[in-house]
A and B are shown apart, each in its own frame.
Chain A
Amino acid sequence: MKRQTAKSKLGQFSPKWALVIVCLLIGYAILQPAANRQLGWQLPSLISLLEQSAPPAGDDRGIATDAEQITKRNGDGDTTDATAADRSDSGDRQQDSGKGRGAEPGAAELTYDYLKAIAPGDYLSPAGLRYTPMGGEEKHRLDHIMRHLVDDSSRPVHGVFDGDMPQVLRWIDDAYQRAQTNSKDVVKKHEDGRDVIDVRFSKPIGYVGGQKGKREGFPAARGIRLVLEGKRVISAFPTSL
Protein backbone atom coordinates (compact mmCIF):
# COMPACT_ATOMS: atom_id res chain seq x y z
CA MET A 1 0.00 0.00 0.00
CA LYS A 2 2.73 2.38 0.94
CA ARG A 3 4.53 1.57 -2.26
CA GLN A 4 1.45 2.38 -4.25
CA THR A 5 1.11 5.64 -2.40
CA ALA A 6 4.68 6.58 -3.11
CA LYS A 7 4.29 5.58 -6.72
CA SER A 8 1.19 7.63 -7.07
CA LYS A 9 3.04 10.57 -5.56
CA LEU A 10 5.79 10.14 -8.10
CA GLY A 11 3.17 10.03 -10.79
CA GLN A 12 1.86 13.32 -9.56
CA PHE A 13 5.32 14.87 -9.64
CA SER A 14 4.72 18.53 -10.12
CA PRO A 15 5.64 19.93 -13.54
CA LYS A 16 6.91 22.93 -11.68
CA TRP A 17 9.57 20.84 -9.95
CA ALA A 18 10.40 19.05 -13.15
CA LEU A 19 10.98 22.43 -14.76
CA VAL A 20 13.18 23.50 -11.87
CA ILE A 21 15.29 20.35 -12.18
CA VAL A 22 15.65 20.80 -15.93
CA CYS A 23 16.71 24.41 -15.42
CA LEU A 24 19.26 23.32 -12.82
CA LEU A 25 20.68 20.74 -15.20
CA ILE A 26 20.94 23.27 -18.00
CA GLY A 27 22.56 25.73 -15.64
CA TYR A 28 25.07 23.13 -14.53
CA ALA A 29 25.90 22.20 -18.11
CA ILE A 30 26.54 25.87 -18.93
CA LEU A 31 28.43 26.80 -15.80
CA GLN A 32 30.53 23.66 -15.32
CA PRO A 33 33.16 24.44 -17.98
CA ALA A 34 33.39 28.04 -16.85
CA ALA A 35 33.72 27.02 -13.20
CA ASN A 36 36.46 24.54 -14.06
CA ARG A 37 38.23 27.16 -16.09
CA GLN A 38 37.93 30.14 -13.80
CA LEU A 39 38.05 28.48 -10.40
CA GLY A 40 40.26 25.51 -11.16
CA TRP A 41 37.56 23.05 -10.10
CA GLN A 42 37.23 19.64 -11.70
CA LEU A 43 33.49 19.26 -11.86
CA PRO A 44 32.49 16.36 -14.09
CA SER A 45 30.63 17.19 -17.24
CA LEU A 46 26.90 16.58 -17.37
CA ILE A 47 27.40 14.05 -20.14
CA SER A 48 29.84 12.00 -18.12
CA LEU A 49 27.50 12.15 -15.11
CA LEU A 50 24.63 10.89 -17.19
CA GLU A 51 26.78 8.16 -18.69
CA GLN A 52 27.96 7.05 -15.27
CA SER A 53 24.38 6.83 -14.04
CA ALA A 54 23.39 4.57 -16.93
CA PRO A 55 22.95 0.84 -16.20
CA PRO A 56 26.51 -0.46 -15.90
CA ALA A 57 25.98 -4.04 -16.98
CA GLY A 58 24.77 -3.25 -20.46
CA ASP A 59 27.31 -0.50 -21.04
CA ASP A 60 30.20 -2.47 -19.74
CA ARG A 61 29.30 -5.42 -21.84
CA GLY A 62 28.98 -3.28 -24.90
CA ILE A 63 32.29 -1.53 -24.45
CA ALA A 64 34.11 -4.70 -23.55
CA THR A 65 32.72 -6.37 -26.61
CA ASP A 66 33.90 -3.52 -28.78
CA ALA A 67 37.31 -3.68 -27.23
CA GLU A 68 37.52 -7.39 -27.74
CA GLN A 69 36.59 -6.99 -31.36
CA ILE A 70 39.23 -4.32 -31.77
CA THR A 71 41.77 -6.56 -30.11
CA LYS A 72 40.90 -9.29 -32.53
CA ARG A 73 41.15 -6.94 -35.48
CA ASN A 74 44.59 -5.94 -34.29
CA GLY A 75 45.64 -9.53 -34.16
CA ASP A 76 49.19 -8.67 -35.18
CA GLY A 77 50.44 -8.73 -31.62
CA ASP A 78 50.11 -5.00 -31.36
CA THR A 79 48.13 -5.21 -28.16
CA THR A 80 50.24 -7.56 -26.14
CA ASP A 81 53.80 -6.37 -26.36
CA ALA A 82 54.07 -4.69 -22.96
CA THR A 83 57.55 -5.12 -21.60
CA ALA A 84 58.48 -6.88 -18.42
CA ALA A 85 59.35 -3.52 -16.93
CA ASP A 86 55.91 -2.25 -17.80
CA ARG A 87 54.33 -5.13 -16.05
CA SER A 88 56.45 -4.87 -12.97
CA ASP A 89 55.61 -1.28 -12.20
CA SER A 90 51.94 -1.47 -12.94
CA GLY A 91 51.09 -2.70 -9.47
CA ASP A 92 52.03 0.59 -7.85
CA ARG A 93 49.89 2.56 -10.25
CA GLN A 94 46.91 0.36 -9.67
CA GLN A 95 47.01 1.15 -6.00
CA ASP A 96 47.21 4.89 -6.28
CA SER A 97 44.60 5.39 -8.90
CA GLY A 98 41.38 5.11 -6.96
CA LYS A 99 38.58 4.61 -9.39
CA GLY A 100 41.00 5.19 -12.20
CA ARG A 101 43.39 2.49 -13.20
CA GLY A 102 42.41 -0.25 -10.82
CA ALA A 103 41.39 -2.95 -13.21
CA GLU A 104 43.33 -6.17 -13.49
CA PRO A 105 43.70 -7.71 -16.91
CA GLY A 106 40.67 -9.68 -17.76
CA ALA A 107 38.61 -8.09 -15.03
CA ALA A 108 35.16 -6.97 -16.04
CA GLU A 109 35.69 -3.55 -14.48
CA LEU A 110 36.61 -0.84 -16.92
CA THR A 111 39.24 1.71 -16.08
CA TYR A 112 37.74 5.18 -15.97
CA ASP A 113 34.51 3.41 -16.92
CA TYR A 114 35.96 3.23 -20.40
CA LEU A 115 39.29 1.46 -20.88
CA LYS A 116 39.83 -2.26 -20.84
CA ALA A 117 43.03 -3.59 -19.28
CA ILE A 118 44.58 -6.00 -21.76
CA ALA A 119 47.86 -6.47 -19.88
CA PRO A 120 49.25 -5.01 -16.69
CA GLY A 121 49.56 -1.28 -17.29
CA ASP A 122 48.26 -1.62 -20.85
CA TYR A 123 44.79 -0.21 -21.51
CA LEU A 124 42.72 -0.40 -24.66
CA SER A 125 39.99 2.03 -25.65
CA PRO A 126 36.89 1.04 -27.61
CA ALA A 127 38.34 2.80 -30.67
CA GLY A 128 41.50 0.72 -30.39
CA LEU A 129 43.89 3.25 -28.87
CA ARG A 130 46.37 1.97 -26.33
CA TYR A 131 47.57 3.72 -23.20
CA THR A 132 50.82 2.26 -21.91
CA PRO A 133 53.52 2.94 -19.33
CA MET A 134 56.16 5.54 -20.06
CA GLY A 135 59.54 6.53 -18.68
CA GLY A 136 60.14 9.60 -16.60
CA GLU A 137 58.26 11.14 -13.77
CA GLU A 138 54.75 10.41 -14.92
CA LYS A 139 55.17 6.67 -15.39
CA HIS A 140 52.07 6.25 -17.54
CA ARG A 141 50.49 7.94 -20.56
CA LEU A 142 47.23 8.31 -18.67
CA ASP A 143 49.04 10.35 -16.03
CA HIS A 144 50.57 12.40 -18.80
CA ILE A 145 47.15 13.16 -20.26
CA MET A 146 45.75 13.82 -16.80
CA ARG A 147 48.14 16.77 -16.54
CA HIS A 148 45.90 18.43 -19.08
CA LEU A 149 42.87 18.35 -16.80
CA VAL A 150 44.20 21.32 -14.86
CA ASP A 151 46.01 24.44 -15.89
CA ASP A 152 49.73 24.81 -15.33
CA SER A 153 50.60 28.46 -15.25
CA SER A 154 54.31 27.68 -15.16
CA ARG A 155 54.25 26.45 -18.73
CA PRO A 156 54.40 28.73 -21.76
CA VAL A 157 51.28 27.09 -23.19
CA HIS A 158 49.18 24.34 -21.73
CA GLY A 159 45.93 22.99 -23.20
CA VAL A 160 43.36 22.19 -20.53
CA PHE A 161 40.37 19.88 -20.96
CA ASP A 162 36.95 20.93 -19.69
CA GLY A 163 36.08 17.48 -18.46
CA ASP A 164 37.11 14.53 -16.36
CA MET A 165 39.10 11.52 -17.53
CA PRO A 166 36.11 9.46 -18.74
CA GLN A 167 34.97 12.39 -20.82
CA VAL A 168 38.45 13.15 -22.10
CA LEU A 169 39.04 9.54 -23.11
CA ARG A 170 35.80 9.60 -25.08
CA TRP A 171 36.84 12.80 -26.81
CA ILE A 172 40.19 11.26 -27.71
CA ASP A 173 38.48 8.20 -29.15
CA ASP A 174 36.05 10.39 -31.04
CA ALA A 175 38.91 12.42 -32.46
CA TYR A 176 40.80 9.29 -33.45
CA GLN A 177 37.78 7.78 -35.19
CA ARG A 178 37.13 11.01 -37.05
CA ALA A 179 40.78 11.09 -38.05
CA GLN A 180 40.21 7.86 -39.95
CA THR A 181 38.00 9.81 -42.32
CA ASN A 182 39.09 12.54 -44.66
CA SER A 183 37.10 15.17 -42.85
CA LYS A 184 37.98 18.79 -43.40
CA ASP A 185 38.16 19.08 -39.62
CA VAL A 186 41.16 16.77 -39.48
CA VAL A 187 44.78 17.69 -40.14
CA LYS A 188 47.43 14.98 -40.00
CA LYS A 189 51.19 15.02 -39.92
CA HIS A 190 53.27 11.85 -40.10
CA GLU A 191 56.99 11.55 -39.44
CA ASP A 192 59.08 8.46 -38.79
CA GLY A 193 56.22 6.35 -37.53
CA ARG A 194 54.59 9.01 -35.40
CA ASP A 195 51.48 10.99 -36.11
CA VAL A 196 50.28 14.37 -34.96
CA ILE A 197 46.56 14.65 -35.62
CA ASP A 198 44.48 17.77 -35.09
CA VAL A 199 40.74 17.29 -34.94
CA ARG A 200 38.38 20.21 -34.72
CA PHE A 201 35.22 19.84 -32.66
CA SER A 202 32.01 21.79 -33.11
CA LYS A 203 32.13 23.01 -29.51
CA PRO A 204 34.95 23.88 -27.15
CA ILE A 205 36.35 20.92 -25.29
CA GLY A 206 38.75 22.94 -23.20
CA TYR A 207 40.79 26.08 -23.18
CA VAL A 208 44.30 27.33 -23.75
CA GLY A 209 46.08 27.72 -20.43
CA GLY A 210 49.62 28.33 -19.37
CA GLN A 211 51.24 31.72 -19.65
CA LYS A 212 49.98 32.29 -23.18
CA GLY A 213 46.45 31.35 -22.20
CA LYS A 214 46.54 33.68 -19.25
CA ARG A 215 47.73 36.54 -21.40
CA GLU A 216 44.95 35.93 -23.92
CA GLY A 217 42.15 35.43 -21.41
CA PHE A 218 42.09 31.63 -21.58
CA PRO A 219 40.62 31.29 -25.06
CA ALA A 220 38.43 28.31 -25.80
CA ALA A 221 40.00 25.29 -27.45
CA ARG A 222 37.85 23.56 -30.04
CA GLY A 223 40.38 21.02 -31.11
CA ILE A 224 42.26 18.01 -29.82
CA ARG A 225 45.80 17.28 -30.87
CA LEU A 226 46.71 13.62 -30.71
CA VAL A 227 50.30 12.44 -30.77
CA LEU A 228 50.38 8.76 -31.64
CA GLU A 229 52.76 6.01 -32.57
CA GLY A 230 50.55 3.57 -34.39
CA LYS A 231 47.65 3.09 -32.03
CA ARG A 232 49.66 3.98 -28.96
CA VAL A 233 48.84 7.32 -27.42
CA ILE A 234 51.85 9.47 -26.62
CA SER A 235 49.92 12.58 -25.71
CA ALA A 236 46.62 14.31 -26.27
CA PHE A 237 45.58 17.83 -25.33
CA PRO A 238 43.18 20.59 -26.31
CA THR A 239 44.38 23.11 -28.80
CA SER A 240 42.93 26.21 -30.38
CA LEU A 241 42.27 25.35 -34.00
Chain B
Amino acid sequence: MEQVPANPWIHIGECPFCVEGLCRVRTCTDASGCHLYALCDECGSAWVEPTTDSPKVFPDLDDPRCPICAQAMYGDHASWARAEDLENTPWSSEAIFDVMPSCESASRSPEAADDVVDISENFPESVDDISYGQDEPKPGC
Protein backbone atom coordinates (compact mmCIF):
# COMPACT_ATOMS: atom_id res chain seq x y z
CA MET B 1 0.00 0.00 0.00
CA GLU B 2 1.57 3.23 -1.10
CA GLN B 3 1.26 6.00 1.42
CA VAL B 4 0.48 9.40 0.02
CA PRO B 5 2.21 12.05 2.10
CA ALA B 6 -0.21 14.15 4.07
CA ASN B 7 0.89 17.72 4.05
CA PRO B 8 0.28 19.37 7.37
CA TRP B 9 1.60 18.09 10.64
CA ILE B 10 -1.52 16.74 12.32
CA HIS B 11 -1.12 16.57 16.07
CA ILE B 12 -2.80 17.29 19.39
CA GLY B 13 -0.02 19.43 20.80
CA GLU B 14 3.42 19.31 22.32
CA CYS B 15 4.24 16.21 24.28
CA PRO B 16 3.81 16.96 27.99
CA PHE B 17 6.23 14.19 28.90
CA CYS B 18 9.38 14.99 26.89
CA VAL B 19 8.36 18.58 26.01
CA GLU B 20 10.04 18.33 22.62
CA GLY B 21 8.03 16.06 20.40
CA LEU B 22 4.69 16.52 18.73
CA CYS B 23 1.84 14.21 19.64
CA ARG B 24 1.01 13.32 16.08
CA VAL B 25 -2.12 11.52 15.04
CA ARG B 26 -1.72 8.02 13.68
CA THR B 27 -4.26 5.88 11.96
CA CYS B 28 -4.45 2.12 12.28
CA THR B 29 -6.81 -0.26 10.55
CA ASP B 30 -8.03 -3.60 11.78
CA ALA B 31 -11.00 -5.82 10.96
CA SER B 32 -13.40 -3.42 12.65
CA GLY B 33 -12.15 -0.43 10.70
CA CYS B 34 -9.93 2.56 11.14
CA HIS B 35 -9.06 4.08 14.48
CA LEU B 36 -6.88 6.94 15.61
CA TYR B 37 -4.46 7.64 18.40
CA ALA B 38 -1.67 10.13 19.04
CA LEU B 39 2.01 9.26 19.27
CA CYS B 40 4.83 11.54 20.35
CA ASP B 41 7.37 11.55 17.55
CA GLU B 42 10.19 12.15 20.01
CA CYS B 43 9.62 9.87 22.99
CA GLY B 44 6.92 7.51 21.74
CA SER B 45 4.28 8.24 24.37
CA ALA B 46 0.78 7.50 23.11
CA TRP B 47 -2.75 8.80 23.75
CA VAL B 48 -5.94 7.07 22.71
CA GLU B 49 -8.06 10.15 23.26
CA PRO B 50 -7.58 13.36 21.33
CA THR B 51 -6.14 15.35 24.18
CA THR B 52 -2.83 15.14 26.00
CA ASP B 53 -4.75 15.74 29.23
CA SER B 54 -5.96 12.18 28.98
CA PRO B 55 -3.89 9.27 30.31
CA LYS B 56 -0.91 8.31 28.18
CA VAL B 57 0.55 4.91 27.55
CA PHE B 58 4.11 3.87 26.86
CA PRO B 59 4.31 1.29 24.10
CA ASP B 60 6.72 -1.59 24.59
CA LEU B 61 10.17 -0.61 23.34
CA ASP B 62 10.90 -3.96 21.74
CA ASP B 63 7.48 -4.63 20.33
CA PRO B 64 5.46 -1.42 20.00
CA ARG B 65 1.79 -2.02 19.36
CA CYS B 66 -1.27 0.03 18.61
CA PRO B 67 -2.71 1.07 21.98
CA ILE B 68 -6.22 0.39 20.67
CA CYS B 69 -6.15 -2.85 18.68
CA ALA B 70 -2.73 -4.21 19.74
CA GLN B 71 -1.59 -4.82 16.19
CA ALA B 72 1.99 -3.95 15.39
CA MET B 73 2.38 -0.19 15.55
CA TYR B 74 4.14 -0.02 12.20
CA GLY B 75 3.20 -1.68 8.95
CA ASP B 76 1.03 -1.28 5.92
CA HIS B 77 -2.08 -1.12 8.09
CA ALA B 78 -0.85 1.96 9.97
CA SER B 79 0.54 5.39 9.14
CA TRP B 80 0.55 8.97 10.23
CA ALA B 81 -2.96 10.26 9.76
CA ARG B 82 -4.03 12.40 6.86
CA ALA B 83 -6.62 15.12 7.13
CA GLU B 84 -9.36 13.00 5.66
CA ASP B 85 -8.73 10.26 8.23
CA LEU B 86 -9.99 12.60 10.94
CA GLU B 87 -13.26 13.48 9.27
CA ASN B 88 -16.35 12.77 11.37
CA THR B 89 -14.30 11.81 14.39
CA PRO B 90 -13.75 13.63 17.68
CA TRP B 91 -10.16 14.15 16.57
CA SER B 92 -11.13 16.60 13.84
CA SER B 93 -12.12 19.27 16.34
CA GLU B 94 -9.18 18.70 18.64
CA ALA B 95 -6.29 18.21 16.24
CA ILE B 96 -3.90 20.96 15.23
CA PHE B 97 -2.87 21.28 11.63
CA ASP B 98 0.55 22.82 11.27
CA VAL B 99 1.51 23.86 7.81
CA MET B 100 4.97 22.96 6.61
CA PRO B 101 7.39 25.83 7.18
CA SER B 102 8.24 26.14 3.51
CA CYS B 103 4.93 27.93 3.28
CA GLU B 104 6.17 30.32 5.99
CA SER B 105 3.08 29.95 8.05
CA ALA B 106 1.47 27.78 10.60
CA SER B 107 -2.14 27.58 11.44
CA ARG B 108 -4.19 26.09 14.16
CA SER B 109 -7.44 24.71 12.98
CA PRO B 110 -9.69 23.74 15.82
CA GLU B 111 -12.71 23.76 13.57
CA ALA B 112 -14.37 20.86 11.91
CA ALA B 113 -13.04 18.67 9.19
CA ASP B 114 -14.24 21.03 6.46
CA ASP B 115 -11.09 23.08 6.96
CA VAL B 116 -9.02 19.98 7.10
CA VAL B 117 -9.71 19.06 3.54
CA ASP B 118 -9.01 22.59 2.36
CA ILE B 119 -5.65 22.61 4.04
CA SER B 120 -4.71 19.35 2.46
CA GLU B 121 -5.68 20.55 -0.98
CA ASN B 122 -3.50 23.60 -0.70
CA PHE B 123 -0.35 21.62 -0.62
CA PRO B 124 1.96 20.87 -3.49
CA GLU B 125 1.49 17.48 -4.99
CA SER B 126 5.15 16.79 -5.49
CA VAL B 127 7.62 15.65 -2.90
CA ASP B 128 10.97 16.25 -4.55
CA ASP B 129 13.16 15.19 -1.68
CA ILE B 130 13.90 11.52 -2.28
CA SER B 131 14.68 11.05 1.38
CA TYR B 132 11.22 12.29 2.30
CA GLY B 133 9.71 10.00 4.85
CA GLN B 134 12.71 7.69 4.86
CA ASP B 135 14.65 8.57 7.94
CA GLU B 136 12.76 11.47 9.36
CA PRO B 137 9.16 11.10 10.37
CA LYS B 138 7.80 13.99 8.39
CA PRO B 139 4.08 14.08 7.83
CA GLY B 140 2.77 11.24 5.82
CA CYS B 141 5.70 8.93 6.09
Q: List chain A positions with a Cβ less than 8 A from chain B.
A: 81-83, 85-86, 132, 134-138, 143, 147, 152-159, 189, 191-194, 196, 211, 225, 227, 229, 232, 234-235, 237, 239
Contact = CB atoms under 8 A, between A and B. Distances in A.
B64 interface: yes
B135 A154 contact: no
Given A153-B101, A154-B100, A134 B43 contact: no
B136 A152 contact: yes
B58 A138 contact: no
Contacts of A193: 58
Interface in B114-139: 133-138
Interface in B32-85: 42-44, 58, 61-64, 72-74
A223 B105 CA distance: 29
Most chain A CB within 10 A, of B73, B133, B135, is at B135
6 nearest CB pairs, A to B? A135-B64, A227-B43, A83-B62, A135-B74, A137-B137, A154-B101
Interface of B: 9, 14, 17-22, 42-44, 58, 61-64, 72-74, 98, 100-102, 106, 133-138, 141
A137 B135 contact: yes
Contacts of A83: 62-63
A182 B141 CA distance: 41
Contacts of A135: 64, 72-74
Contact of A229 (B19, B58, B138, B141): B58
B42 A235 contact: yes
Contacts of A152: 136
Contacts of A155: 22
